[in-house]
C-alpha cells in the first residue's frame, strides 16, 4: 500500500487523529478495472484534500476529470508515491491537480472502503482525508492530462448541485466520493 504504520502515526502526531470509518460499495466492472489498474506496486490508498481558500474558508477546491459527466466535480486526490510520506503525497497531488501550494491543517478522516463487483475479489482501499489551506498559486490544473478543470466551489454547491450530479451518474465510485465528502464536510471547521 506504499504507506507504513509509522508514517500514519507521524501524520496523526502532526495533524491530529482522524475519525475512522468503514464503508462498502458495489461498483460496476469497469469501475473495478479502474481501481485495480491504479493498484500497481501494491497501492491501495489515496490522499484526498479539502483545500480551502485563504481569504474565504467557505470555498473548497474541486476538480473534474475528462471523463466525468457534466456538473460532476470532487475534491482532489491521488497517491502518495513509494518513498513519499502521506503529507508529501498530499502536497504534491494538491499542486498537480489544482495549481495550489497548500498547508495541511488537519487529518480529518481515514476511511477503509471495501469495493465489490460481482464475484471478483474484494478490493480493500484506504482514503486519508486532509483539511488544507491555500498558501500560494492560482487555481488551475498543472496535470492537464488527468485533470480537465479545477475551480473553487462553495460548500453549499459541493453539497447541493455537485453532490446531485455525482449521485445522478449512478457510479459506485461517485457514491463513495459523496459519502467521503459528507463525512468530511460534517467534520470541517469552516471558520477555522
Q: Is the pLDDT of residue 191 over 70?
A: no
pLDDT band at 190 (very low <50, low <70, confident <90, very high): low
Question: Distance between CA 145 and CA 147 in Å, rounded?
Answer: 6
Spatial contact of 75 and 60, defined as CB atoms under 8 Å apart = yes
Can you give the pTM of this predicted structure? 0.96
Average pLDDT, the chain: 96
HSE-CB at 149 with a 13 A cutoff on CA atoms is 13
List beta partners, residue 150.
Answer: 63
DSSP string computed for 119-165: TSPPEEEEEEEEEEEEEE--S--S-TTT-SEEEEEEHHHIIIIIHHH
- CA Rg, the chain, in Å? 16
Enumerate domains of the chain plus CATH numbers: 5-187 (3.90.79.10)
User: Among candidates 85, 79, 73, 87, which has minimal Cα distance to 147?
Assistant: 73
For the segment 162-180, what is each residue's pLDDT rounded down to a tens digit? Answer: 999 999 999 999 999 999 9
For the segment 59-74, what is each residue's pLDDT rounded down to a tens digit? Answer: 999 999 999 999 999 9
pLDDT band at 30 (very low <50, low <70, confident <90, very high): very high
Distances (CA, A) of 70 to 44, 78, 188: 28, 22, 27
For the segment 96-140, what is each residue's pLDDT rounded down to a tens digit? Answer: 999 999 999 999 999 999 999 999 999 999 999 999 999 999 999
pLDDT band at 3 (very low <50, low <70, confident <90, very high): confident
pLDDT band at 49 (very low <50, low <70, confident <90, very high): very high
DSSP string computed for 51-110: EEPSS-TTEEEEEE-TTSPTT--B--EE-PPTT--HHHHHHHHHHHHHS-EEEEEEEEEE
- What's the farthest any 2 CA atoms get from each other in the chain? 49
Q: Is the pLDDT of residue 16 over 80?
A: yes
Question: Distance between CA 101 and CA 79 in Å, rounded?
Answer: 17
Amino acid at each position: 500500500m506504499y504507506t507504513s504504520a509509522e508514517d500514519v502515526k507521524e501524520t496523526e502526531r502532526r495533524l491530529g487523529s482522524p475519525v475512522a470509518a468503514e464503508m462498502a460499495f458495489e461498483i460496476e466492472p469497469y469501475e473495478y478495472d479502474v481501481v485495480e489498474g491504479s493498484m500497481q506496486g501494491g497501492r491501495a490508498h489515496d490522499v484526498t484534500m479539502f483545500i480551502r481558500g485563504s481569504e474565504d474558508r467557505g470555498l473548497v477546491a474541486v476538480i473534474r476529470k475528462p471523463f466525468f459527466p457534466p456538473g460532476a466535480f470532487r475534491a482532489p486526490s491521488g497517491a502518495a508515491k513509494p518513498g513519499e510520506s502521506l503529507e508529501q503525497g498530499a502536497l504534491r497531488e494538491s499542486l498537480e491537480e489544482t495549481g495550489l501550494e497548500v498547508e495541511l491543517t488537519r487529518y480529518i478522516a481515514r476511511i477503509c472502503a471495501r469495493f465489490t463487483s460481482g464475484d471478483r475479489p474484494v478490493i480493500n482501499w484506504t482514503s486519508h482525508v486532509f483539511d488544507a489551506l491555500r498558501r500560494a498559486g492560482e487555481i488551475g490544473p498543472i496535470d492537464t492530462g488527468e485533470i480537465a478543470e479545477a475551480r473553487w466551489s462553495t460548500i453549499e454547491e459541493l453539497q447541493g448541485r455537485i453532490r446531485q450530479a455525482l449521485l445522478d451518474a449512478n457510479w459506485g465510485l461517485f457514491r463513495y466520493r459523496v459519502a467521503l465528502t459528507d463525512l468530511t464536510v460534517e467534520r470541517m471547521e469552516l471558520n477555522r
